[in-house]
Amino acid sequence: MPHESTRLSARDWARAALTAIADGGLAAVAVEPLARTLGVTKGSFYAHYRNRDELIAAALAEWRTHCEDGLADFAAITDPARRLRELLTTVVRSVRPLVPSVHLSLLGDRNDPRVAEAVGHVDQARLDLLATTYRELGLPSARAAARARVAYAAILGLSHLAQTDPDAPRSTVLANEAATVFLPPVRASRHASVPKE
Amino acid sequence: MPHESTRLSARDWARAALTAIADGGLAAVAVEPLARTLGVTKGSFYAHYRNRDELIAAALAEWRTHCEDGLADFAAITDPARRLRELLTTVVRSVRPLVPSVHLSLLGDRNDPRVAEAVGHVDQARLDLLATTYRELGLPSARAAARARVAYAAILGLSHLAQTDPDAPRSTVLANEAATVFLPPVRASRHASVPKE
DNA sequence: GCGTATCAATACGCCACCGTATCAAGGAGA
DNA sequence: TCTCCTTGATACGGTGGCGTATTGATACGC
């Protein structure tokens, strides 16, 4: 049988490792099972990486750049209110289904220093963007950072709940609730506009 | 030298398995390493459980009852406003440090059906308590469920951030922000004590 | 005190995966 | 065309963990 599919590259292995991480965590990044799913034997793996650790590092790097690229799309939105709304609704609807899976699975391996470093950077970048957005919306710096933290926490948790619960709860009610909770940024002033129903 | 420590029981093994889960996920529940940390050999393990799966099941059951017990403490608070505030501040301060670690580590193994079942039940119980609280505070049922979901998501995410970030962010600023975001549900009661800075 | 059930140690076979040769193509450039 | 480099296959040893005897030691009921 001739090789109808082209040969594999190092990125192919990294991507396969990422999908393995998405369901199974770091423990699922094993050379021989990965080779099986790719349809080759592990002999070819060691032509691209020296060992398993290098593959894990490459997969984490791939994930980080992927996350940063996704973040750049939101950072390009100039209007802070619209940017915030986009961030929230995107998460509620779980538009990008792959990325949060990787993120969640990595939580299980958060004690691994490489994982901690990658997750920490991704979290920090997202927190920075959220904090900047809230500052642009008028919140003082400390409160902007705090609210960014709470909002990002909700984002993480919602993606978690969406993945563990079988019933799809990305309803408009949920989106509205998240919006009323996190959208009005500055209701701390005197004429505090408490969200009404 | 006499045996200063008493012999081990099945619960000892389950508890050791839980702490192993807390840092390392299900993959860390290995009989021989566990026996090493307990100071015995694995020969004794098979006197308490038939195999590794039984140990995992016992550990998950132990975790569930532990979570339910912790939830009962909050459910005992009759005043819904105070109950909500306790729930939020407890999480922000990360009073119970063990439980969330287990919960987070289990996220990495959320594809395991046993884990999915346990996590699903724990999540559901907490969501129910939160939704009831919001209903008691005057929110209509659908919105109460939605806001409970968002609030619980934030709780989960905050505990995640607290564990991955090195800097301790359980500041009062954060607690205040979480309170202003999630506490005033509908300002239902007359003298609703909205926390002011 | 004696026997019995429980807890623990040792030893063994088994399997999955890692890593290292070593070899066989197949393609790009001289 | 010939040669080298890359990709991939095969085989081997090593390690870690699971599960199963088998046996020794200890506590507890009687």
The arithmetic mean of pLDDT across residues B76-88, rounded, is 93
Contacts of A129 (CB under 8 A, 6+ apart): A71, A74, A75, A87
pLDDT confidence band for A90 (50 / 70 / 90): confident
Asked if A186 has any chain B CB less than 8 Å from its own CB, the reply is: no
CA of A100 to C1' of D27 (A): 53
The arithmetic mean of pLDDT across residues B32-49, rounded, is 92
Q: What is the distance between the alpha carbons of residues B193 and A113, in angstroms, rounded to a whole number?
A: 43
Q: Among A6-10, A26-30, A73-77, B158-162, where is mean pLDDT lowest? A: A6-10
| Residue B1, pLDDT score | 33
Strand D proximal to A48 Cβ, under 7 A = yes
Q: What is the pLDDT of residues B109-154, one digit of tens each?
A: 999 999 999 999 999 999 999 999 999 999 999 999 999 999 999 9
pLDDT of B99 above 80: no
CA of B38 to C1' of D24 (A): 20
CATH number of B60-182: 1.10.357
Strand D proximal to A166 Cβ, under 7 A = no
* Residue A132 CB neighbour total at 10 angstroms: 16
Q: Both tokens of residue A78?
A: 């100039």
HEC secondary structure over B116-152: HHHHHHHHHHHHHHHHHHHHHCCCCHHHHHHHHHHHH
Instruction: Classify residue A24 by burial, with Cβ atoms within 10 Å: 0-12, 13-18, 19+.
Output: buried
The residues spanned by each domain of chain A are 59-182
Contacts of B151 (CB under 8 A, 6+ apart): A154, B88, B130, B134, B182
The arithmetic mean of pLDDT across residues B59-69, rounded, is 93
CA of A27 to C1' of C26 (A): 35
| Residue B196, pLDDT score | 42
Asked if B161 has any chain A CB less than 8 Å from its own CB, the reply is: yes
Q: What is the distance between the alpha carbons of residues B121 and B126, in angstroms, rounded to a whole number?
A: 9
| Residue B192, pLDDT score | 41
The arithmetic mean of pLDDT across residues A150-159, rounded, is 92
CA distances from B174 to A27, A131, A164, B3 (A): 35, 13, 27, 49
pLDDT of A197 above 50: no
Q: Both tokens of residue A93?
A: 């609807």
| Residue A168, pLDDT score | 59
Q: How far is B47 from chain A (nearest CA, A)?
A: 28
Listing DSSP states for B47-61 in one string gives GT-SSHHHHHHHHHH
Q: How far is A103 from chain B (nearest CA, A)?
A: 9
Hey, which CATH number is domain A59-182, 1.10.357, 1.10.10, 1.10.3470, 3.30.450?
A: 1.10.357
| Residue B69, pLDDT score | 92
Asked if A144 has any chain B CB less than 8 Å from its own CB, the reply is: no
Q: Which bases of strand C have any atom within 7 Å of the beta carbon of a protein residue?
A: 6-11, 16-22
Asked if A111 has any chain B CB less than 8 Å from its own CB, the reply is: yes
Give percent of chain B with pLDDT exceeding 70. 83
pLDDT of A75 above 50: yes
Give percent of chain A with pLDDT exceeding 90. 63
Q: What is the distance between the alpha carbons of residues A67 and B72, in angstroms, rounded to a whole number?
A: 39
